[in-house]
Structure 1
Amino acid sequence: MSNEIERFFEQQDEATKVAIIESRGDELTDILVSALEDALSILYGEMQPETVH
């Protein structure tokens, strides 16, 4: 895993911890949805078949 991706997940983890501590449910939901969208985007990019000419 690249350092950029690892750093992104560390930032997401920190933001999630803060939201849980401060009981900010809407913000926590937004963070989790964003993380899920990012993960699915990464997986989708890895699953793209190569173009055959």
Structure 2
Amino acid sequence: MSNEIERFFELQDEATKAAFVESRGDELTDILVAALEDVFAILADDDVRETIH
């Protein structure tokens, strides 16, 4: 699963760099919001797994 997460972040980095180069602020904002939503989802899953014994 860690490879999947690493690949996701690599793709996000590539999209972010492209948005900076092309000055596409709205698309950059969408990418950043999507990344934050994914991080929060990952963190929520981790909390659930930790509380179940």
TM-score by length of 1: 0.88
Structure 1 unaligned blocks of 5 or more: none
Instruction: Say whether 1:14 aligns with 2:29.
Output: no
TM-score by length of 2: 0.88
Letter in 2 for 1:44: A
Overall identity of the aligned pairs, in %: 69
Computed over aligned residues only, the root mean square deviation of the Cα atoms, in angstroms, reads: 1.4
Query: How many pairs does the alignment contain?
Result: 51
Match runs of 1:24-43 below 5 Å:
24-43=24-43
Which deviates more from structure 2 when the two are superposed, residues 30-39 or residues 1-10?
Answer: 1-10
Distance 2:25 2:47 in 1: 33
Hey, what does 1:50 align to over in structure 2? Answer: 52
Question: Which is helix-richer, 1 or 2?
Answer: 2
